[in-house]
Chain A
Amino acid sequence: MSPEQARPVRLANLHKRFGGFVALENLSLDIEAGEFLTFLGPSGCGKTTTLKIVAGLLTQESGEIYFGERRIDTLPPSRRNIGLVFQNYALFPHMTVRENIAFGLRMRRWPAARQAERVEEMLALVRLQGMGNRKPEQLSGGQQQRVAVARALAFSPDLVLLDEPLSNLDAKLREEVRLDLRNIQRQSHQTTVFVTHDQIEALVMSDRIVLMNSGRIEQIGSPQMLYDEPATEFAARFVGANNLVPARLEVVNGEAAARTGSDVHVRLNTVVPGLADGADIWMCVRPENIHIITGEGSSDGSGATVLDMIFQGTTVLVDLESDGLGSLRAEVPARHVAGIAAGQRVGLTFAAAHAVPRS
């Protein structure tokens, strides 16, 4: 489907309960036509529940779903025109790859010739030419995954939903397929909602990320936005590694700074909007933004003692006990750690610090 035809998708106040348990709490969201949107959140936060409601496999207590101007949550699953990729793919074991991909076309009564043409197109898109006559059991996990994607895309759905489609793959394959999937989406301009609890996956693949927590949306934004300027403590802790230090916000002449209980003073690069002078905050510093300085006369930040060093290949994690900020973790390029050892006194500077509200 070309991007001109694609319609935006709107979820309005979706509410879902299981008995007394609120799984979704008035969830509202606008999905742009052609975008790759990711639902990211811890296990049990309601990602699958949301997908199932959108696909019509579960009914919401209240709320509506629109494709463009058209309300679709009153339609049965078969009439919503949504492509769904299940976590375990659910390829029909008694059908060939070709028959699997053609299934949606067959249900829409496409003429046989057009079906065949479309199937070839999809096989090419997912790079499985020549495998059309195989049965799913004759494919590797990654190939099955791509068939499932081809099957969901074939009938030009208004929306494609993928529920943790990579979680069955081993780590190396997952990285490959991740980029594959991203490229396929770029080529097809298919509006896509992708579900994962893996934040790296979300950061790598998405145009935008919807961060979910306990049935609510915690933050929506680009991967860069979520990483650099998390809006809440939850976001700051969930996306990427982070050091959180309790502090109080100080604004002097438009310059923001964090003052900790032990009177250490750190300049803040970014602050969540709406925080006023004197507010309780978490100062957030990414490990890669902590620079370690050895040698004399080096301390414009605070001092610290090195506790432990964890070699990771290209980088080294350095655990520190700082003088005024408690325990911190820094991530330093491996070639910069010469001269640092456990037990040593060092100086610290912060390349970037961010503040989120603390309640």
Chain B
Amino acid sequence: MPRGLLRVFANLGWTVYVVAIVTWLLFPLSLILLSSFQGTISITTDVSNLNVSAYEAIPDRYWNSLWFTVQISVVATVTALLVSVPAAWAMVRGKLAERRFLSNVVLLPDVVPHIILGIALLTLYLQIGLARTWLGMLLAMLSLSLAMGLRFTEALLEGLPEEYELAAETMGANKLQALVLILMPLMAPGLATAALFIFISNMVTFELLFFISGPNASPIAVRLFSDIIDRGIMPHSVAMASIMIYISIAFYVIVALTLGPKYLAGSTVSRKG
């Protein structure tokens, strides 16, 4: 077979492969989005009667839960990154002897099923009065955010040569100035990307929060789950799920527009000279 033809087939093969993966990834999402505009929960491809009745039917308790979730997700994300940067700096640059140990401890929350962690937290929270409270939910979410934040910032700093800080120091900058004037701006794109991923994962945190949530402190994922268990899937549940997709996409677009698309290509790309 001539080489040109071979290349055409190879390209075709790759195209089919990529399209298949993308379809596989997006198929369920598009189904949800489509059915949210059909006002029913039956899965059809009928597009003749699109409407927003499902969105209008979303009850107030859903909106409250969504607002609650956005709030604690944002606070947990920001707090986690603020705490992670100095901690990662100490771990990476300070050449802490405990470094290895710490890096691995950070992985531990992920080796236990979150639902088990949730039960453990409930036992603790019941004793100290944090169960079913805003603060209790935030602290629980923060533990997951911190684990992610530390991993992100550690990787970011690893990818950033120490010479930049050292150069700043030899020119008269103290450690704080080096951190604020050199490190933070260089890490900013990576931190924004990290914030995006942490925020989105916070928005859908479910298992950890399931047991410790209550009527006044109920993240949207838990709320949806409980409602579906109680009454089955309602069109407005699907509409709410769609809204979560919109929020994630909006957040992604904002970060992408601010940074330019190349920083989002890899999740923890750092900025080098």
| Chain A residues in the interface with B (C-beta under 8 A) | 55-57, 76-84, 86, 88-94, 103-104, 107-108, 136-137, 151-152, 155
Contact = CB atoms under 8 A, between A and B. Distances in A.
A270 B185 CA distance: 60
Nearest to B166: A57
Most A CB atoms within 10 A — which of B163, B164, B167, B182? B167
Nearest to A89: B273
Interface stretch (B65-73, B88-96, B105-113, B169-177): B169-177
Contact of B167 (A76, A90, A155): A90
A-B interface, 7 closest residue pairs, ranked by CB to CB distance from nearest = A107-B172, A90-B163, A104-B171, A93-B273, A90-B167, A84-B170, A77-B169
A137 B273 CA distance: 7
Contacts, number: 68
22 contacts: A56-B170, A57-B169, A77-B170, A78-B169, A78-B171, A80-B170, A82-B170, A84-B166, A84-B167, A88-B163, A88-B273, A89-B273, A90-B164, A92-B167, A92-B182, A93-B186, A93-B273, A103-B173, A107-B172, A136-B273, A137-B273, A152-B171
A88 to B, nearest CB: 7
A260 B173 CA distance: 61
B171 A107 contact: yes
Interface in B101-127: none
Nearest to B185: A94
Nearest to B164: A90
Contact of B271 (A57, A88, A94, A107): A94
A108 B177 CA distance: 12
Interface of B: 161, 163-164, 166-174, 177, 182, 185-186, 271-273
B272 A93 contact: yes
A103 B161 contact: no
Given A77-B170, A86-B167, 10 more contacts: A55-B170, A76-B174, A78-B170, A79-B172, A91-B273, A92-B164, A93-B271, A94-B271, A104-B171, A136-B273
A55 B163 CA distance: 13
Given A88-B163, A92-B164, A104 B273 contact: no
Contacts of A91: 273
The secondary structure that dominates the B interface is: helix
A88 B171 CA distance: 16
B163 A155 contact: no
Nearest to A55: B170
A90 B174 contact: no
Contacts of A78: 169-174
A36 B182 CA distance: 31
Contacts of A137: 273
Given A57-B166, A77-B166, A90 B172 contact: no
Contacts of B161: 88, 90
A136 B272 CA distance: 11
B169 to A, nearest CB: 5
A213 B161 CA distance: 29
Nearest to A102: B171
B172 A104 contact: yes
A107 B185 CA distance: 17
Contacts of B164: 90, 92
Contacts of A80: 170
Contacts of A90: 161, 163-164, 166-167, 273
B170 A83 contact: yes
B190 to A, nearest CB: 13
Contacts of A77: 166, 169-170
Nearest to B169: A77
A162 to B, nearest CB: 12
B256 to A, nearest CB: 19
A82 B273 CA distance: 23
Most A CB atoms within 10 A — which of B185, B186, B273? B273
A151 B164 CA distance: 13
A136 B271 CA distance: 13
A91 B161 CA distance: 11
A88 B161 CA distance: 10
A78 B168 CA distance: 8
Nearest to A85: B167
Contacts of B173: 78, 103, 107
A108 B172 CA distance: 7
A76 B168 CA distance: 12
Contacts of A151: 171
A155 B170 CA distance: 11
A79 B272 CA distance: 27
